[in-house]
Structure 1
Amino acid sequence: MKTTYITLFTLALFVAACGSKKTTKKEVIRPVRYQQVHKSGGKSSRTFSGVARASTETRLSFKVSGTIQVLNVKVGQQVKAGQLIASVDAADYVLQYEDAKASLRNVEAQRQNAQSSYNRLRQLYENNNASLSDYEKAKTGYESAKATVNSIKKKIALAQSQINYTKIVAPRDGVVAEVLVETNENVSPGRPIVQLDSGKELEVKVDIPEVFIAKVKSGDTVQMRFSAQPQTLYKGIVHEVAFTASRGKTTYPVTVKILNPDQNMRPSMTCNVTFVFDYGIATPKMLVPAIAVRQDVQGKRYVFTVKDVKGESSKVVKQVVKVGDLTEEGIEIMQGLKESELVVTAGVSKLKDGQKVRLSR
């Protein structure tokens, strides 16, 4: 009995000790996306990244496979039309050419014999001194020999073309922008070897998000600042607007011609391109993405604003708002927000008032 009391007492102490320990849960800091509130309407500017490029870019490649023997250019080199760029080993194609020529000599002799036999039997047949079957046999043999000769001639022409294809020459004057292979490297037909930039004018390629592409029109004027010389403002005009998005992206390529280029510009330089969009609204409105606005059980509309930004950690506050019209740019906020406030735009459904978050663009 004494042993039983001791066991129960020990168990009670163990349970009490376990109960005294507090379980601490690690606070989850949820990542959210956000944007700064601004007024839109009338005319509004948007800036996108662009890259300068030559007005004509040509990627040169071989039409035959082989091992590169000659690589005659380097990046930045000026080349003239007709200048040799690169060549591959032509030995195999020369052998094919010589074999085809040797075959042609043999089949030419066979064709001549077949023609002589055909001419002789035709005369005999016309004089009733040869049978129809012998005449037709000679005729068939002659036509077959002619077809063989023509086939070999085509092989010779193909072999000659393949020999010619072992060399790449510059199609026009230009500058070597990129060399994509090395000497002694095996290449396949169609693989780019060198990029040649030509044309006196530079263009800028800009990727425009799908929500703005409908507002971009050919002939629109833009302003540009290049990263290499941010103090200089350049003017441009929209030259081409793509009808379909870039492969694997939700952006549309737009080509801008530079109206006041100078000698400081180079292909592949990056720049910021500013477009001015006219929304056709007389009075600017404060707009936020529609996904940022929620509705509680009482029917009140609200957003989460970002407060107490400290490094990676911030806090969100539930803010009741009064909404107006829903436009293609977002939903109008009539009351409850101030310009320049930060509003959560992604991850809203899982937030609570006062919750800590990590900001992510």
Structure 2
Amino acid sequence: MRRLTLLLPARRGLPLIIVCALALAACGDRHVPEPAARPVLVVTPAASGDSGASAFPGEIRAREESALAFQVSGQLLRRDVDAGAHVRRGQVLAEIDPGDLRLQQQSAQAQVASAEAEYARTRTDRARYAALVDQQLISRSQMDAQDAAYTAAQSQLRAARAQADVAGNQAGYTQLRAPRDGLIASREAEAGQVVAAGQAIFMLAGDDGREVAIALPESRIAAFAIGQPAQIELWNRPGVRVPGTIREIAAAADPQARTYAARVAIADDAVEGLELGQSARVYLAAATPETALQVPLTAIQPGVDGAKAVWVVDRAEGTLRSVPVETGAYGARSVPVLSGLAPDALVVAAGGHLLREGQRVTPVDRENRPVQLQAAKPAAVK
């Protein structure tokens, strides 16, 4: 023991790396267990169908909606129709007090009579002066003055007649008539109320066609176009869809909602039974090929150089590999994969940010049941 003590100081100069090598050699016989396979949720890509279409809530509206108003102001004497009534073109809907307008019409007619009398007098005087000037009994300047008086009387008569026509039209404006066949969607005034010219009295929904008013998101507005086909489903008729097309898309987005107002026209043979104000859902197909596959949004991961990728489970090895893919327009819950993915691939649907290339995994489905993998080929016996 004393000899060992004496030798230890002599070995203090051994390099540290030799000491570490001796320690590793002493532990070399220990077995490091391989990490257990991590369970991952997998799905197979779904064929494009309704999952590739976007659904937008909407409301049944008339193709032509008109706010009906009087062209003159006055007190509303009566209204002959109520909300929900069906009216015909030319039918009287309401009337305002015509008293003042009729008085104005009578005054205009009196001015026409006065202008006609003045015009007749100047015409007679002009003819008389013309005979006198031929006989050189009056000067030419007097004849010119008579011609000017005749022209002025003629112009005043035309102005009086125009004023009388305006007064007559205004007297006729006291009755509000339907411009077309349609349905009274709402009323905005009551009898006895004083209304201004242009103030809405009724809202008329024309009978010519029905549409669905929807709002398209600003982020995807490039995916929609006028004439694009659509499918319309009423809330009170689940499962029953009628064809339609996008007829109109607003040129500018709503400044608050940041959506574009759009109108989807319903086929004429499918409008029977549709009521104004009904809730509906409009399905617009994504502009992707029919062979596109759909994967959950959560399956898409960032790839190399800003590309997109998904984690796919190798069926033979039970390990992960990153597969770059090309995607289409994103949907509400899924995204179409245009290329790079096989239809039978096992795609990791969630938790991809916690995984790594080559990691061993145990795939499970949404019911937490193990997914059977193809058995790996046995190693050859040497």
TM superposition score normalised by structure 2: 0.62
Cα distance change of structure 1 residues 50 and 125 upon mapping to structure 2, 3 Å threshold = same
- SS for the counterpart of 1:214 is helix
- Whole-angstrom distance in 2 between the partners of 1:94 and 1:79: 27
Shift in Å, 1:200? 5.8
Partner of 1:244: 251
Shift in Å, 1:223? 2.8
Partner of 1:346: none
Amino acid at match of 2:280: C
CA contact 1:40–1:287 (8 Å) conserved in 2: no
Cα distance change of structure 1 residues 324 and 78 upon mapping to structure 2, 3 Å threshold = same
Deviations 1:107-165 (CA, angstroms, capped at 9, x unpaired): 22222222222111111112222111101111111111111111111110000011111
Shift in Å, 1:209? 1.5
Partner of 1:278: 287
CA contact 1:61–1:193 (8 Å) conserved in 2: yes
In the alignment, is residue 81 of structure 1 matched against residue 89 of structure 2? yes
Amino acid at match of 2:265: V
Partner of 2:372: none
Cα distance change of structure 1 residues 82 and 243 upon mapping to structure 2, 3 Å threshold = closer
Higher gyration radius (CA): 2
- Whole-angstrom distance in 2 between the partners of 1:252 and 1:231: 24
- SS for the counterpart of 1:171 is coil
Partner of 1:48: 56
Shift in Å, 1:178? 1.2
- Whole-angstrom distance in 1 between the partners of 2:323 and 2:78: 69
Of 192, 202, 207, 1:194 maps to 202
- Whole-angstrom distance in 2 between the partners of 1:154 and 1:146: 13
Deviations 1:83-102 (CA, angstroms, capped at 9, x unpaired): 11011112121111111122
In the alignment, is residue 121 of structure 1 matched against residue 153 of structure 2? no
Cα distance change of structure 1 residues 98 and 105 upon mapping to structure 2, 3 Å threshold = same
Cα distance change of structure 1 residues 220 and 235 upon mapping to structure 2, 3 Å threshold = farther
Amino acid at match of 1:244: A
CA contact 2:286–2:329 (8 Å) conserved in 1: no
Partner of 1:19: none
Structure 1: segments with no counterpart, 5+ residues: 1-38, 294-299, 301-321, 344-361
CA contact 2:229–2:246 (8 Å) conserved in 1: no
Partner of 2:309: none
CA contact 2:232–2:244 (8 Å) conserved in 1: no
Partner of 2:349: 339
Shift in Å, 1:197? 2.3
Deviations 1:232-254 (CA, angstroms, capped at 9, x unpaired): 41222214132513554431313
Cα distance change of structure 1 residues 283 and 204 upon mapping to structure 2, 3 Å threshold = closer
- SS for the counterpart of 1:129 is coil
- Whole-angstrom distance in 1 between the partners of 2:181 and 2:244: 26
Amino acid at match of 2:182: G
Shift in Å, 1:216? 2.5
CA contact 2:246–2:262 (8 Å) conserved in 1: no
CA contact 2:183–2:207 (8 Å) conserved in 1: no
Shift in Å, 1:212? 2.8
CA contact 1:219–1:237 (8 Å) conserved in 2: no
| Superposition RMSD in Å | 3.9
Sequence identity, in percent? 22
Partner of 2:313: none
In the alignment, is residue 257 of structure 1 matched against residue 297 of structure 2? no
Structure 2: segments with no counterpart, 5+ residues: 1-44, 307-321, 342-346, 354-382
CA contact 1:235–1:259 (8 Å) conserved in 2: no
Number of equivalenced pairs:
282
Deviations 1:31-68 (CA, angstroms, capped at 9, x unpaired): xxxxxxxx899661111011112333332221112221
Partner of 1:175: 183
Of 60, 69, 83, 2:68 maps to 60
- SS for the counterpart of 1:75 is coil
- Whole-angstrom distance in 2 between the partners of 1:327 and 1:62: 56
Shift in Å, 1:78? 2.1
Name the structure with the higher strand share.
Answer: 1
Amino acid at match of 2:85: Q
Q: How does 1:1-361 map to 2 (within 5 A)?
A: 44-199=52-207, 201-227=209-235, 229-242=236-249, 244-245=251-252, 247-248=254-255, 249-258=258-267, 261=270, 264-280=273-289, 282-284=292-294, 287=297, 329=329, 339=349
Moved more, 56-65 or 156-165: 56-65
